[in-house]
Amino acid sequence: MRLFILIFLFLFLCGSVQAKVKSEDISFAKHFYTDEIKACPFVGSETFSSDYTKSRIESLINLDWMSEWAKGNSRSVNHENLTGPISLFAVTTHTALGNNDKSEINLAKDVLIKMAKANILLDTIGKKELKKKPKCWKDGNPEAPCWYHAYEFARDAFTNYLIIAIYLKEYLDENEYKSVNKYIKKMHQKFIEPDAFYDEEKGFYAMGNGGIPNLAYANWLNDKDLAAKEFNFRFYQIDKLFYEDGYINNNSFRGYRGLWYHSYGLNSALGYLYLAKLWGAKIPETVITKVTKASEVLNLGITDYEKYSSRKYDGDQNNNKYKKKNARMHTHQEALAIDTLMKMMTGVKHETDYVYLQKRRLKGIDDLVGFNANCIK
């Protein structure tokens, strides 16, 4: 009897530690990262009334992304004509809703529908097709083409489109919704579903390492089962790829860009955990502890780069062959609000990183997570 009680207690405690998120725990935020979008100076003030702004956004309709991608390599991605317009679209739509400007909202809705009917990015290489292509950094060569970048940036740009669609969902009539939803389902099938629950062994990168696209699709469909499944899987991934000492598998060890990619992965995880907390998912303590430690390691890299970089990595790696002239020894400039997310989610204050402060944009959408955390009230 005593043995039975001990076994019961052991199983109960294990179950408590590894408690799973259930669909009934989930409560979707109406506008993905918030229930109410308000005017936010950190996003910007661009509107569709500017001919340049409207033209820049609509340039996505005819963008040949694969030709743009071909100008880059494993070390650098030529993405400005993709990420620039989609980010600007997110800014103008956010501003329209924040100001409750019906004319601007209608213009945003029109562009959303035009893009859906044009099937933007659908002809980009998909995850399944990557199997036939060589991997990035082939033979350790930074000049080698990186086909994964073509897929990844298309997936993440589409995720930003999907978040914009969530913003505008209540303004779509039945036929408009059908047009947008038809496009979203086609893109999901090609770019999100094949990679949705891939058990990554190396590194944690943009959009919650692929988790935020899942969450955006779940929010769009109001699919709480999918959201719960996603949270459980990504918590496991973070727990596996973030080490107990705060370093991140692969990211933290990429030579002269190790700190840059460490902050990139950390920012992505912080944004993901914010969404988890907002939507009602209980975050495991082990995950919070590791991400908190990773925040402290980022500060170590800012204040004592030599000590930060002395940590040895025992995994296989071929994406760390950067020359010193290509160094990025600072917080990633695209992590627009990492200081806010760190303080909010871990209580750790981001150390002053002067290079980061000089390089980061003061306004806009954080393309690594799909929203600007500085707009959270």
> Which residues make beta-bridge pairs with 248?
242
* Tokens found for residue 33: 């990262």
* φ/ψ (deg, to 5) at 305: -60, -35
- CB-side neighbour CA atoms (13 Å) of 203: 19
How far apart (Å, rounded) are the C-alpha atoms in residues 232 and 188?
Answer: 20
93: number of CA atoms within 13 Å, CB side?
A: 26
* CA separation for the pair 121, 100 (Å, rounded): 30
Q: Kindly write down the DSSP assignment for every residue of 281-306, as one continuous string.
A: PPPPHHHHHHHHHHHHHHHHHHH-HH
| pLDDT tens for the 377 residues of the chain, in order | 554 444 444 344 444 345 799 999 999 999 999 999 999 999 999 999 999 999 999 999 999 999 999 999 999 999 999 999 999 999 999 999 999 999 999 999 999 999 999 999 999 999 899 989 999 999 889 999 999 999 999 999 999 999 999 999 999 999 999 999 999 999 999 999 998 999 999 999 999 999 999 999 999 999 999 999 999 999 999 999 999 999 999 999 999 999 999 999 999 999 999 999 999 999 999 999 999 999 999 999 999 999 999 999 987 777 777 888 888 999 999 999 999 999 999 999 999 999 999 999 999 999 999 999 999 97
Three-state secondary-structure class, residue 187: helix
Burial 264-281 (b: 16+ CB within 10 A, else e): bbbbbbbbbbbbbebbbb
Cβ count within 10 A of residue 377: 6
Per-residue tokens: 154: 């298309």
Give the separation between CA 245 and CA 306, rounded to whole angstroms.
16
Neighbour tally for 359: CB within 10 Å:
14
Q: Is 248 helix (H, G, I), strand (E, B) or coil?
A: strand
Domains, the chain, in order of start with CATH, read 21-375 (1.50.10.100)
